[in-house]
Amino acid sequence: MDQTLYIAEFSKDYPGILPLELAALSSDSTIFSYDFLRDNIVLARGKVDAITESAFLRYLGKIIWQGDDLNHLEMDAIRIPEGTFHVRAWTDDGRESTRAEQIIGKSLHGEGRIQFKNPDFTIRAYFLGRWYVTLQVSLGKRSEMLSRTAPMRPFFSPVSLHPFIARAAVNLSRTRKGETLLDPFCGTGGILLEAALSGRKVIGSDASLQMVSGARMNMKYYGIQDSRIILSSAFDLKLNEEVDAIVTDLPYGRSSPKIDIGNDFISRITEKFASLIRLGGFCVLITNSANAQDQISGEFSLMNKLGIRQHRSLTRFFYVIRKG
């Protein structure tokens, strides 16, 4: 494994999901490894392209210097690109340090090169027990995902998942580019969009013709040409092949007039999912049921359960289950 070191900073939007998402993204230990230095900052090494797929990444930087005292930082010890740059630095309590920024800028011979608006690159420094000075690699894909929030799509529903949640759920499925992901309750296609735009092959289905038509419209709008979206109840869905993963926001209550949401719904639907997914494949189920683990088909093993509070009266639960 490449031992180049990086600092990755993540948003705190949904803190409970981040550890699970990083574990899934690094499930093949040859990809990258990491250690938490703070609840939303990790020290990473390896093929960090996978980290840029995180729904919550705000900054990824290659460590170009580390030490206990910034006064020991010397230009000769590190290499930075030509061009203008901007420096930002934070202390261990998360406060920005103008003094540290000045020291770093001077040490890197920043006179005439420091530019706050549209610099060629950014230097960020973090004090996390010691100083880590980093060169920007990526700012993640948050701005792209925000452009796909429900009201920005040609067809949307008020109950659509936020793209951050949809992308995180896709990542929890442990699928890689080129593998096939199914959403059998696809609705407006939010999960399918995030999966397709991160390189998965996607299949969706819904019992509502309006939703199927709208999901197809959304996929086309965002340039996804090879998705399959089928008009079918999930219970009646037939495929010619087993899929690698299933990720879905399960229907509940009044939002699901075409689905029989009975007391045995979770049991029946996970039995159906077992017939559609390959052995070893993961399902990520999002539901308002706090005890769905007691109803999941015996063909699956529960890997993770996480509750995310949406607002005062609603908590959604994520269940990550594996066939076999």
The answer to whether 193 and 223 are in contact (CB under 8 A) is no
pTM to 2 decimal places:
0.92
List, for residues 201-231, the tens digit of each pLDDT value: 999 999 999 999 999 999 999 999 999 999 9
* Mean pLDDT score of the chain: 92
Fold adopted by 147-323: Rossmann fold (3.40.50)
What are 278-302's pLDDT values in tens digits?
A: 999 999 999 999 999 999 999 999 9
What is the Cα–Cα distance from 235 to 282, expressed in whole angstroms? Answer: 19
Between 71 and 5, where is the model more confident?
5
Average pLDDT of the residues in 260-264 = 72
Task: Report which of residues 317 and 261 the model is more confident about.
Answer: 317
2 pLDDT above the threshold of 70:
no
Q: What tokens does 201 get?
A: 């092959």
Sheet holding 5-10, edge to edge: 32-38, 41-46, 5-10, 57-67, 131-138, 121-127, 85-90
* Beta pairing partners, 9: 41, 59
Give yes or no for residue 95 having a pLDDT over 60. Answer: yes
Looking at residue 76, its amino acid is: D
| Mean pLDDT of the 121-144 span | 95
Neighbours of 15 (CB within 10 A): 13
Cα–Cα distance for residue pair 143/288, rounded to 1 Å: 28
77 pLDDT above the threshold of 80: no
Confidence of residue 254 (pLDDT cuts 50, 70, 90): very low
In this prediction, residue 29 carries a pLDDT of 61
CB 192 within 8 A of CB 219: yes
Which position has the higher pLDDT, 32 or 248?
A: 248
- Stretch 106-132: mean pLDDT: 93
- β-pairing, 228-231 vs 201-206, is parallel
Q: At what angle do helices 190-197 and 163-172 cross, to 10 degrees?
A: 60
Q: How many CB atoms lie within 10 A of CB 129?
A: 10
d(CA 107, CA 72): 9
State the SS3 of the chain.
CCCCEEEEEECCCCCCHHHHHHHHHCCCCCCEEEEEEECCEEEEEECHHHHHHCCCEEEEEEEEEEECCHHHCCHHHCCCCCCCEEEEEECCCCCECHHHHHHHHHHCCCCCCECCCCCCEEEEEEECCCEEEEEEEECCCHHHHHCCCHHHCCCCCCCCCCHHHHHHHHHHCCCCCCCEEEECCCCCCHHHHHHHHCCCEEEEEECCHHHHHHHHHHHHHCCCCCCEEEECCHHHCCCCCCEEEEEEECCCHHHCCCCCCCCCHHHHHHHHHHHHEEEEEEEEEEECCCCHHHCCCCCEEEEEEEEEEEECCEEEEEEEEEEC
- Kindly state the percentage of the chain with pLDDT values over 70: 94
Q: Residue 71 above 90 pLDDT?
A: no
Count of CB atoms within 10 A of residue 115's CB? 13
pLDDT in tens, 154-207: 998 887 899 999 999 999 999 999 999 999 999 999 999 999 999 999 999 999
Q: What is the pLDDT of residue 31?
A: 79
Question: 């299933």: which residue's tokens?
Answer: 246
Domain boundaries, the chain: 5-138, 147-323
Confidence of residue 259 (pLDDT cuts 50, 70, 90): low
Cα distance between residue 198 and residue 194, in whole Å: 6
- Split at pLDDT 50, 70, 90, the class of 246 is very high
Q: What is the pLDDT of residue 218?
A: 97
Give 147's pLDDT tier (boundaries 50, 70, 90): very high
The top-level CATH class assigned to 5-138 is alpha beta
In this prediction, residue 17 has a pLDDT band, given cuts at 50, 70 and 90, of very high
CB atoms within 10 A of CB 243: 22
Cα–Cα distance measured from residue 202 to residue 179, given in angstroms and rounded to the nearest whole number:
8
pLDDT band at 245 (very low <50, low <70, confident <90, very high): very high
Which segment of 175-184, 243-252, 255-264 scores lowest on mean pLDDT?
255-264
